[in-house]
Amino acid sequence: MMVPVILAAFLAAALLPGPASAHGGLSNYTVGETWYRGYDPSTPPEEQLNKPWLTQRQWTTIDPLFSPTSPFLACNDPGTPPPSSIPISAGEVITAVYYYWLHPVGPMTAWLTRCPEDNCNAVNLTEAKWFKIWEAGLLDGTLELGTWYQKSFQRWDGEPGLWPVRLPEGLGSGRYIIRHEILSLHVGFRPQFYPECAHLEVTGGKEGKGVEGEVPGGYLKVFPGAYDQDGELPSCELGREKGKGLS
């Protein structure tokens, strides 16, 4: 009778990534009561790519990208497009599900890009222009010593991290790519980027261009290109006591 118990414990230990592999990524999405399975880097690609249930772009490792100039900064490596899209209404909430998250420092952001001619598979990811629809940074204290939203997302108890993001009400109906990015900054001068992307089919929005057609050019960002690792940090950011997220 002991053998199955020991085996079960062994399997659990083997399957659950511990702090030793302290990276991660976006595993699944939910919209309302519907669950959308994401790409799983630990499952063979041939069991996932081209499957009709797949709505997330391919990412092959839970390791981060370490460079803000990585060609894969938009939708991870390799970012192969999925066959399907997540249906969602403008103004509705999509929740990103992480099986666990162990890093506490740095901003979390969510972005959209509209797919030309509603063809997200044809999007050139290094040229796509993204607008930010959600952000959370420093909640309290200083950049170095304060508490980041990412810390509240941290899970040591085996519970999944849930990240709900509401799409803008005035979005135009059509196809989009949604990009979730966690930027972890717990190691000095060695940023860790964790981007994952899924394809969306937005209905119930505005006809035509929608709010995304009105985003001023300065707010449209390209990945890589949005970040500069050698940039100057504004002195007001370093000294302030209370943060309200990164601008």
Q: How far apart are the first and last CA of the chain?
A: 58
Q: Which stretch binds Cu ion (CB under 5 A): 19-27, 65-73, 165-173, 215-223?
A: 19-27
| Min CB(42)–Cu ion separation in Å | 15
Question: Which residues 6+ apart lie within 8 Å of 43 measured at CB?
Answer: none
What binding mask, one character per residue, do residues 23-62 give for Cu ion by CB under 5 A, x or -? x---------------------------------------
Question: Which residues 6+ apart lie within 8 Å of 157 measured at CB?
Answer: none
Q: Which stretch binds Cu ion (CB under 5 A): 18-26, 76-84, 87-95, 137-145?
A: 18-26
Q: Are 65 and 73 in contact (CB under 8 A)?
A: yes
Number of shown-chain residues binding Cu ion (CB under 5 A): 2
Using CB under 5 A as the binding rule, the residues of this chain from 75 to 94 that contact Cu ion are none
Element (H, E) at 110: strand 108-114
Which of 17, 22, 37, 60 is the binder for Cu ion (CB under 5 A)?
22
Nearer to Cu ion among residue 29 and residue 194 (C-beta):
194
Placement of tokens 């420093």 in the chain: 138
Instruction: Please report, as a single letter, which amino acid is at residue 213.
Output: G
CA triple 134-227-232, angle to 5 deg: 110
The candidate with the shortest Cα–Cα distance to 170, out of 136, 138, 214, 234, is: 214
Residue of minimal Cβ distance to Cu ion: 23
| Min CB(142)–Cu ion separation in Å | 23
| Min CB(34)–Cu ion separation in Å | 29
Q: Which stretch binds Cu ion (CB under 5 A): 15-23, 76-84, 153-161, 216-224?
A: 15-23
Give me the sign of the Cα torsion angle 198, 104, 24, 153: negative
Our finding on whether 151 is near Cu ion (CB under 5 A) is no
Note the residues at the interface with Cu ion (CB under 5 A).
22-23
